[in-house]
Amino acid sequence: MTRFARLYDVVRTTWRLGAIGFGLCVCVAAVGWKVSTLQLAERDFLQGQGDSRAIRTKPIAANRGLIFDRNGEPLAVSTPVVSVSVNPSKLADSPDNIRRLANALDLNPEALVTKIQGQRNDPHLLVKRRLSPAEVAPLQAMRIPHVTFEDEYQRFYPQGEVAAHIVGFSNIDNVGQEGIELTYEEHLQGTPGRRQIIQDRRENIIEEIRTIETASDGGNIDLSIDFRLQNLAYKELKAEFTKRRAKSATLVMLDVETGEVLAMANQPSYNPNNKSNISDFGVLRNRAVTDVFEPGSTVKAFTIAAALESGVFEADTIIETSPGWMMVRGHTIQDIHNYGTLNVGKVITKSSNVGTSKIALEIGPEPIRDVLERVGLGQVTGTGFPGERGGLLPSPRRWSAIETATLSYGYGLSVTALQLAQAYSVIADGGIRKPVSLLKLSDDEVAALPRDRVLSASISAQVKEMLETVVDPRRGGSAREARVPFFKVAGKTGTAHVVGERGYEANLHNSLFAGMIPASDPKIVVVIVINEPKGDEHYGGQVAAPVFSRVASGAMRLLNIPPDDLPVSQSILSSGGDE
């Protein structure tokens, strides 16, 4: 090789190396320029774009407030659950993953594929809700792309149908629909929070960045209900409802001193944890506040109170009821038997329609209506319970004689079971009317209760004593089935015909009993209404009074209230033999 050739090779090699070096420098400079541009000029834009694809804001579920009875027994609680959702726009083209998801959730695979592919333009689709953490754990371990898990709470009612009509229920989104759940929705619902998370391209959560806003749990509620009494009332009412094959039944128990509702049961009932089996939505009604009825002879106590107030009658005023019936403007009013000559007290004892009609025609309808209004009949009790009805007190411009007579023994007006219980609590508390409460009252709230005197103490005492004779067979009372061993009971039966398509039905009745115990110093008032019992027995003393006896007897034991009607020998022993 010549010298010139060698020189040429050196120059060419040097040029090539220089060109390569220059090219590399240009590339490095270009990359450096681009990196510098991205880091400086476009940093915020690119950071935002990256964050928008990786950082998400997720809600934090708020725990709905709990509902307790007056002793802290839980009636409504919230349990953590997980809902599964997908991104159809990303998952629609992966039918195998959709089938894996369906099998894990025990769903029809082909149906789920069709559903997701049919919504392929949507970014979010709920697949299944309210899975327990244990149920969803295997699915989470599968890490199927574009499947997300959302924490929620599910409402659970530990006492089931026993307290269903009071507590009510919430829907799948935890929004109250009935009962206390609906009444106090704003107090119970809470406020959801928010958190920021980083997720990968498969929408799996990699890291939680921060909590933007903490969730605020809903407030708790303490009801006035005593679940021990509620359970007792429910059990006994259901037994009688079933035995009598009745259309429906209701029981209300009030605390005489505070006006708190200690028990409120209805039949038929339902399980708020499984509402899918409900075919008749009428079972959702709390009949104690939504259903009105004619109270029948239970009103006679207030007719007698009006008679005593008028000054025209006294407890021993004689009234002739023979021959057991009377005509009023072409209408026949009759008693079950011919009771003959009765005094005013015995009119209550024997529940004489003729006797109360004669009293009403003597004093006029307005005094009776005035007493009924003062004790709370025909007006809402103020509990705020959804669907509460006020009933009706008639107020015609001119009263006919038959309207006056029938008003005296409970026809022509309509009331709820809760109103009737409140009215009887007036007699039990010496003529004092107080508000009814479904919430537990503190000692300060009880002390601050408005206490309106609507009947005099003396008249209330006289009426209460007359009501004691109704339950005492030794004094001719007709409600012996309402007796409670070792306790004095005061109460009144009621039997009212039911209005049908063509007026009052001869063979359909409502059977009632309203009573208080212990009669010497009443602590509770109980009202029982059995609607349209079947069979040969339909009188309040036969159908409703036995329920009162069983419920009141159990209540005295649960509330630890001492007897007030011990036999003489036991009374001497209990007092140490000093008397």
- SS3 label, residue 33: helix
Find the Cα–Cα–Cα–Cα dihedral 338, 341, 346, 351, rounded to 10°. 30
Q: How far is it, in rounded angstroms, from Cα 276 to Cα 278?
A: 6
φ/ψ (deg, to 5) at 520:
-70, -30
Q: Is 496 exposed, middle or buried (0-12, 13-18, 19+ CB in 10 A)?
A: buried
The alpha carbon of 27 is separated from its chain's Cα centroid by a whole number of angstroms, namely: 76
DSSP classification of residue 227: H
Q: Could you give the 3-state DSSP secondary structure of residue 13?
A: helix
DSSP 63-104: PPPPEE-TTS-EEEEEEEEEEEEE-HHHHTT-HHHHHHHHHH
Sign of the torsion angle spanned by Cα atoms 225, 227, 229, 233: positive
Catalytic residue list contains 437: no
C-alpha span between 286 and 250 (Å, rounded): 9
3-state secondary structure 146-166: CEEEEEEEEEECCCHHHCHHH
Distance of alpha carbon 246 from alpha carbon 249, whole angstroms:
7
CB atoms within 10 A of CB 299: 29
CA angle 476, 478, 481 (to 5 degrees): 120
Helix (H, G, I), strand (E, B) or coil at 370: helix
3-state secondary structure of 519: coil
Sheet of strand 503-517: strand arrangement: 261-267, 248-255, 524-531, 503-517, 490-500
* Residue of 398, 385, 426 whose CA lies nearest to 514: 426
Q: Which residue do the tokens 């004691």 mark?
A: 468
Is the backbone of residue 230 left (phi > 0), alpha (psi -120 to 50) or beta?
A: alpha
Residue 385 contacts by C-beta under 8 Å, 6 or more apart in sequence?
179, 180, 183, 286, 289, 438
Residue pointed to by tokens 């036995």: 546
Nearest to 412 by CA among 560, 295, 302: 295
Q: Which of 297, 351, 478, 549 is catalytic?
A: 297
Name the residues annotated as catalytic.
Answer: 297
